[in-house]
């Protein structure tokens, strides 16, 4: 019972930390590529220490093929962060985060197209509900917000981030048996290399507070959060992991309202509810019909 309670607390804390990531990003006011570079730099340092303590820095921990796959996933993960952080300033933290949570459906689509997985009627129904929610989010611009074009750009960036995350997750599926801390270390190190030319060296933070925010993103929102998440996943059932993951968007919505004064419109709230309900239904396997039958979708047609 202690292990289960500890896992729940770790998962909840990991999701609370994730839900606050937009706060330091917005306060920094730096270009997304710069912020992600320093997130990767500080995060890689944290994960290097963690891997060393866990004895994972050995040559035989993964093959060259596995390393190449991890690197490919790292490219998608870094692009995911850059797009998501860019979406915050266009569409608000709350809208970007809720939109970002269509990622499970993108992962399902990738599974159908590339891994031979079946699209059931129930999954297709949840997908349609999420799509309706997406349309409501796109249509429901916040009162007093930026232009419609700017808002739409933010939504598109969040969708792009969700797609990149789904790609990264699909790639990581091929790394079974590789310690997750080691995977993250490889991916964060790759992020440092890829984004170094775009790190805005001429416009580095000039105050201790700016560096503290960057360190917080890397050490807390990446290193600590990842460690808590991986530890929790090993202790609690998958269904409970899925349930607690909804703490993330809820905290993001609260932070966006309490700190930045962004209130979701009724249409946006309806869209958010639809997306989160659909994601919950997908996570928990709720059925919309009594018997789910395979549905033919694009990319699954026989010649």
Q: Residue 57: pLDDT band by 50, 70, 90 thresholds?
A: very high
Which stretch of DSSP H or E encloses residue 231?
Answer: helix 225-233
Q: Which ranges of 92-224 does DSSP label H, i.e. alpha helix?
A: 93-100, 103-114, 121-139, 148-172, 180-195, 208-215
pTM assigned to the model: 0.85
Which pLDDT tens digit goes with each residue over 187-216?
999 999 999 999 888 778 889 999 999 999
Q: Residue 109 is encoded by which pair of tokens? A: 């689509």
pLDDT digits (tens, 9 = 90+) for 90-147: 999 999 999 998 888 888 888 888 777 788 888 889 889 999 998 898 887 755 455 6
CB 254 within 8 A of CB 20: no
From residue 102, alpha-carbon distances to 12, 34, 98, 273 in Å are 21, 26, 8, 12
Give the model confidence (pLDDT) of 238-296 as tens digits. 667 777 888 999 999 999 999 999 888 899 999 999 999 998 888 777 887 665 455 55
Domain ranges of the chain: 1-284
């Amino acid at each position: 019972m202690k292990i289960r309670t500890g896992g729940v607390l770790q998962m909840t804390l990991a999701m609370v930390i994730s839900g606050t990531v937009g706060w330091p990003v917005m306060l920094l006011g730096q270009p997304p590529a710069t912020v992600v570079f320093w997130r990767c730099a500080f995060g890689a340092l944290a994960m290097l220490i963690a891997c060393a303590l866990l004895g994972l820095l050995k040559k035989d921990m993964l093959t060259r093929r596995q390393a190449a796959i991890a690197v490919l996933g790292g490219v998608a993960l870094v692009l995911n962060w850059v797009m998501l952080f860019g979406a915050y300033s266009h569409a608000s933290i709350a809208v970007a985060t809720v939109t970002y949570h269509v990622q499970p459906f993108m992962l399902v689509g990738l599974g159908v197209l590339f891994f031979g997985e079946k699209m059931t009627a129930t999954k297709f129904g949840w997908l349609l509900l999420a799509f309706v929610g997406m349309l409501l989010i796109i249509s429901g611009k916040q009162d007093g917000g930026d232009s419609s074009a700017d808002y739409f750009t933010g939504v598109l960036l969040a969708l792009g981030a969700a797609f990149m995350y789904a790609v990264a997750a699909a790639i990581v599926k091929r790394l079974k048996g590789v310690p997750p801390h080691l995977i993250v270390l490889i991916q964060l190190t790759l992020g440092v290399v890829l984004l170094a030319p775009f790190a805005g060296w001429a416009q580095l933070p000039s105050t201790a507070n700016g560096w503290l925010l960057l360190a917080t993103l890397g050490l807390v929102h990446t290193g600590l959060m990842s460690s808590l998440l991986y530890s929790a996943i090993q202790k609690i059932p998958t269904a409970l992991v899925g349930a607690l993951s909804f703490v993330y968007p809820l905290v993001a919505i609260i932070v966006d309202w309490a700190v930045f004064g962004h209130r979701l419109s009724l249409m946006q709230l309806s869209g958010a509810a639809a997306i989160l309900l659909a994601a919950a239904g997908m996570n928990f396997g709720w059925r919309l019909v009594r018997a789910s039958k395979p549905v033919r979708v694009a990319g699954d047609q026989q010649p």
